[in-house]
Structure 1
Amino acid sequence: MKETIKKAVCIMSGGMDSTLAAYMMKKEGYEIVGVHFNYDQRTQAKELECFEAICKELEVKEKYVLDLDFFAKLGASALTDKNIDVPTSGVEEGVPVTYVPFRNGIFLSMAAAIAEKEGASVIAIGVVEEDSSGYPDCRENYIEAMQRAINLGTKDETNIEIKMPLVHLKKSEIVQEAVNLGVALELTWSCYKNEDAACGVCDSCRLRLNGFEKAGVTDPIKYE
């Protein structure tokens, strides 16, 4: 009897969190289907380069790189609108200007279509609720609601679980787990501003550096 291959569609930005989530799925015995989005974000070229390198490292056979011009036309985020500065002071109130409206909802919807086509039982996403930037589309109850909606809107025989293995971890715990799993952290990128050397002062760089410091680990990427 032929063994059924377990597949996980992994939404992979090239960042540390989504990369760790993909490594965790591989450890659980899933064949990884990598999905990456180019949405005219400031560090699009670097993120794509990281995604390709990480897929090679994980020996991903099937991958999708999807181009979306929607977010650039929409604007409303410092990541996609060059007229809005990426904040570097670290003192933003409320939802940051780097929030991209409903991004994870759109990404999950597209990943669901891929999962149904590929016969995957899992979509993995590296959302972090407790120690993140405060994005509303990274909340556990929101992702659970998306899972219900996806299963209502797909074929009866389609049953997809959205795994979010990092949702309750702090950044330092993510760094430690990545080290434990042998994640190629030097291939990951978190900076919102730069593509050559990370700025070290944007919200994402601050969270990353703080996580490495608290974990007692040296970040292998280059900073300005």
Structure 2
Amino acid sequence: MNLENKKAICIMSGGMDSTLGAYMVKDMGYEIIALHFNYGQRTEAKELSCFKNICNALNISSSYVLDLDFFSKISASALTDKSIDVPTSGLGDGVPVTYVPFRNGIFLSLSAALAEKEGAEIIAIGVVEEDSSGYPDCTESFISAMEKSINLGTKDETKIKIYTPLVHLSKSQIVEHALKLNVPLELTWSCYKDEDKACGVCDSCRLRLNGFKLANTKDPIEYQ
């Protein structure tokens, strides 16, 4: 396939997973249009800073930052409601309180609108099913249904593929793959709680640290 002038919308949070996904898309020869969402999350400023630094590292010339202030009004999540404590006791059963209701569905819907505007063929999102925190909007079945819905709800000539290269990888495999592609992991952020130094005890930090441990390498970001 001739990838000249082929475009991809990359949803990039500033985290390790979406950053690796963007590097994989670049390695495939696509022109990246970077998309970041500010949705009132606790680490919003840090994530935005990481997103900008990663875009610079990838030499991305086209990027969008969308502000979604409604999440704080409609979602009961520890990520957007500071009256709900971020759990630090390890992963439990069921969907955790850090789940933001239908967040990825909303992100993908907005990405689809942008893809139509920009003429992009794929939307890349760094969802991870097997080693995630149990979020229902990170599953392959959900992504497949969203892809079908997006293509039913857009112009006939619009053919969008949702690219999820990490969906069946473990965190250690993600770390290993990122190292092979020389992804600047020191620019990424995963912590749910803090913006200065990562807490090291929230679910996201635990998953990240365990991934580096199993990959037999040191996480380059600073922890408390």
Same fold (TM over 0.5): yes
Percent identity among equivalent residues? Answer: 71
Gaps in structure 2 of 5+ consecutive residues: none
State the distance in 2 between where 1:219 and 1:142 align: 31
Corresponding residue of 1:85: 85
| Aligned pairs (5 A) from 1:41-80 | 41-80=41-80
Paired AA for residue 80 in structure 1: T
Corresponding residue of 1:113: 113
- Contact in 1 for aligned 2:43/2:195 (Cα 8 Å): yes
Is 1:99 the counterpart of 2:102? The answer is no
Corresponding residue of 1:37: 37
- Contact in 1 for aligned 2:71/2:80 (Cα 8 Å): yes
Deviates more, 1:4-13 or 1:95-104: 4-13
Secondary structure of 2:154's match?
coil
Paired AA for residue 41 in structure 1: Q
State the Cα distance separating 1:69 from its structure 2 match.
0.7
State the distance in 2 between where 1:191 and 1:35 align: 20
Distance 1:91 1:59, change over 3 A: closer
State the distance in 2 between where 1:126 and 1:98 align: 17
Secondary structure of 2:149's match?
helix
Distance 1:65 1:177, change over 3 A: same
State the distance in 2 between where 1:42 and 1:75 align: 13
Corresponding residue of 2:5: 5
Is 1:158 the counterpart of 2:158? The answer is yes
Corresponding residue of 2:123: 123
Corresponding residue of 2:143: 143
State the distance in 1 between where 2:164 and 2:91 align: 27
Paired AA for residue 95 in structure 2: V
State the Cα distance separating 1:74 from its structure 2 match.
1.4
Corresponding residue of 1:21: 21
What is the number of equivalent residue pairs in this alignment? 223
Query: Which consecutive aligned stretches of 4+ in structure 1 deviate over 3 angstroms post-superposition?
Result: none
State the Cα distance separating 1:179 from its structure 2 match.
0.2
Corresponding residue of 2:192: 192
RMSD: 1.1
Paired AA for residue 52 in structure 2: E
Corresponding residue of 1:172: 172
Distance 1:203 1:186, change over 3 A: same
| 1:103-148 CA-partner distances (Å, limit 9, x unpaired) | 0000000000000100000000000000110100000011011000
Corresponding residue of 1:208: 208
Normalised TM-score (structure 1): 0.98
Paired AA for residue 96 in structure 1: P
State the distance in 1 between where 2:56 and 2:161 align: 25
Distance 1:93 1:3, change over 3 A: closer
- Contact in 1 for aligned 2:3/2:29 (Cα 8 Å): no
Is 1:219 the counterpart of 2:219? The answer is yes
